[in-house]
Amino acid sequence: MPEDGTAVVAKRVDSGSADLGEITELARAAGYSVVGELTQSREEDPAYEFGEGKVDELAALVRRSDADTLVIDNRLGPYQTYNIGQKLPEGVEVVDRFTLILDIFGQRAQTRKAQLQVELAELRYELPRAEAKASLAKRDERPGFMGLGEYDESRERDIKAQIANIKQELDAIADKEETRREQRRESGFDLVALAGYTNAGKSTLLRRLAAELDVDENEDLHPDLEATAESEDRLFTTLGTTTRRAETGKRNVLLTDTVGFVSNLPHWLVESFKSTLDSVYRADLVLLVVDASESVEEMREKLVTSHDTLYERNEAPIVTVLNKIDRIDDDELEEKKAALTALAPNPVAVSGKTGENVEKLQARVESELPAWERERLMMPLVDDTMSVVSWIHDHGHVETEEYDDDHVLVEFEARPAIVEQARAKAADLTPVESA
């Protein structure tokens, strides 16, 4: 993380007014103090991204504020980066949106999986730049042309080989995690994932619903979920996933929180973190958390982007959760529900902070999960019977349990696979023969 780094943030949009809110938060998450900002509304300049005159303004702002970094909330090509850098004071770094995000990811990566995903994203970001260097060098026979670095013909091949190796290792990790998910389902658990933008309150909601501490020691615990910590208003606290047992009612639910979405992420970056997002894609139910205190326009934009990310691979039903209703009044909430009904039909409105309506969310989770099957088993009372009854209690919801001298009757609900296992266990019980 930059030590006492200072940054000017800037953004160009084709039309309208540019919003610097998210890029400012991203810069702060990376460790910068934001000391200046500038925007422009015009079509992209192929040489500078901004108009050349606006770049001169940026350079002057950087000098006045004594910033050491210029953060641009656009994707810059290698030539644009070089051209802008030439106008800045010596030593000032030019960082575009995606370089900044990769920097944050790199700071947060603690597990091997997270580190591999960051490395994969960095290589995918570098590949077109290596290809540009190769193309330029071949054409102009000037290896160091435009300050792009010396051309190395093998670099492009090395990057592609590294990408292939990392993908292979991530696939192996994904296979292990899929096996773990199936083992959890076979143990009677339903898997629910929290999705949504950073700072929508997912971690606070996880804390509110959690029945116990993290159940997976191999995954990163969110720092804001430590027993003595408060939830942080901070982007990308971790790249790891946190899974906790959740209180919803009669179902056995494991609730997983993962990295939040960020707007305008390119496909290659989302694809690099597919392994982390698998906990969302492969869930039985997804809770899409939205900050209800934001404007309708912001909520709509984030819902559209979230749907684009989720519906590409997700197979589970999605329930929209309008969080932070403690920050708005009832009339405003109803207006927002009406305005967003096409994107968020029948949402659940809650406050993770105060707990308001959390019981309605718990009931909705139970109603949306895959249907359970009802079963009625009559089992002989033998040495192994009580272990089977205990297993049914652990893996389903027992409604009645009746005993007589020779038998026990158990009526319960459970996942279809659990019912099949219970039937098999009951069939293996051998009645005691009368003398």
CATH number, position 388: 3.30.1370
Q: Final residue of a domain: which of 65, 86, 106?
A: 106
Residue 434 lies in a domain: no
Residues 41 and 84 in one domain: yes
Q: What is the dihedral of CA 367, 181, 310, 10, to 10 degrees?
A: 120
Residues 316 and 197 in one domain: yes
Residues 387 and 319 in one domain: no
Residues 154 and 192 in one domain: no
Residue 17's closest CA among 35, 42, 48? 42
Kindly list the distances between the CA atom of residue 8 and the CA atoms of 91, 114, 209, in Å, as whole numbers in the listed order. Answer: 14, 29, 40
Is 353 known to sit in a ligand binding site? Answer: yes
Is 398 known to sit in a ligand binding site? Answer: no
Is 197 known to sit in a ligand binding site? Answer: yes
Residue 13 lies in a domain: yes
pLDDT of the residue at 188:
79
Is 260 known to sit in a ligand binding site? Answer: yes
Residue 239 lies in a domain: yes
Is 314 known to sit in a ligand binding site? Answer: no
Is 214 known to sit in a ligand binding site? Answer: no
Residue 181 lies in a domain: no
pLDDT of the residue at 232:
43
Is 53 known to sit in a ligand binding site? Answer: no
Q: What are phi and psi of 351, to 5 degrees?
A: -125, 110
Is 202 known to sit in a ligand binding site? Answer: yes
pLDDT of the residue at 136:
57
Is 352 known to sit in a ligand binding site? Answer: yes
Indicate the burial class of 127 (C-beta count within 10 angstroms; 0-12, 13-18, 19 or more).
middle
How far is 132 from 141, CA to CA, in rounded Å?
Answer: 13
CB-CB contact of 222 with 114 (8 Å): no
Is 396 known to sit in a ligand binding site? Answer: no
Residues 278 and 321 in one domain: yes
Residues 47 and 192 in one domain: no
Is 305 known to sit in a ligand binding site? Answer: no
**Beta strands 189-196 and 252-257: pairing type?**
parallel
Residues 379 and 363 in one domain: no
How far is 77 from 90, CA to CA, in rounded Å?
Answer: 20
Residue 65 lies in a domain: yes
Kindly list the distances between the CA atom of residue 275 and the CA atoms of 59, 123, 257, 271, in Å, as whole numbers in the listed order. Answer: 40, 16, 14, 8
Is 11 known to sit in a ligand binding site? Answer: no
Residues 283 and 222 in one domain: yes
Residues 26 and 153 in one domain: no
Is 238 known to sit in a ligand binding site? Answer: yes
Q: What is the dihedral of CA 214, 218, 219, 223, to 10 degrees?
A: 60
Domain that holds residue 122: 109-173
Residues 192 and 330 in one domain: yes
Q: In the chain, how many domains are there?
A: 4
Is 258 known to sit in a ligand binding site? Answer: yes
pLDDT of the residue at 56:
96
Take residue 428 and report the two structure tokens written for it.
């293996």
Residue 112's closest CA among 243, 256, 240, 267? 240
Residues 215 and 114 in one domain: no
Is 6 known to sit in a ligand binding site? Answer: no
Residue 394's closest CA among 285, 284, 250? 250
The CATH number linked to 197 is 3.40.50.300
Residue 329 lies in a domain: yes
Find the length of the chain: 435
Is 198 known to sit in a ligand binding site? Answer: yes
Is 323 known to sit in a ligand binding site? Answer: yes
How far is 204 from 216, CA to CA, in rounded Å?
Answer: 19
Is 83 known to sit in a ligand binding site? Answer: no
pLDDT of the residue at 141:
52
Residue 219 lies in a domain: yes
Q: Final residue of a domain: which of 368, 400, 419?
A: 368
Residue 432 lies in a domain: no
Take residue 406 and report the two structure tokens written for it.
């020779």
Is 351 known to sit in a ligand binding site? Answer: yes
DSSP secondary structure code for residue 224 in this structure: G
Residue 321's closest CA among 191, 204, 181? 204
Q: Final residue of a domain: which of 173, 199, 221?
A: 173
Is 384 known to sit in a ligand binding site? Answer: no
pLDDT tens-digit profile, the chain (435 residues): 565 799 999 999 999 899 898 899 889 988 999 999 999 999 999 999 999 999 999 999 999 999 999 999 998 988 899 899 999 999 999 999 988 988 888 887 777 887 888 888 888 888 877 776 666 555 555 444 444 455 556 788 899 999 999 999 988 988 888 888 888 887 778 899 998 887 888 888 998 988 654 444 334 433 333 332 234 444 444 556 788 888 888 888 899 887 677 766 766 677 667 766 777 878 889 999 999 999 999 899 889 888 877 876 767 889 999 999 999 999 999 999 999 999 999 999 999 999 999 999 999 999 998 888 899 999 999 989 999 999 999 888 899 999 988 899 999 988 888 898 899 999 998 776 544
Residues 334 and 255 in one domain: yes
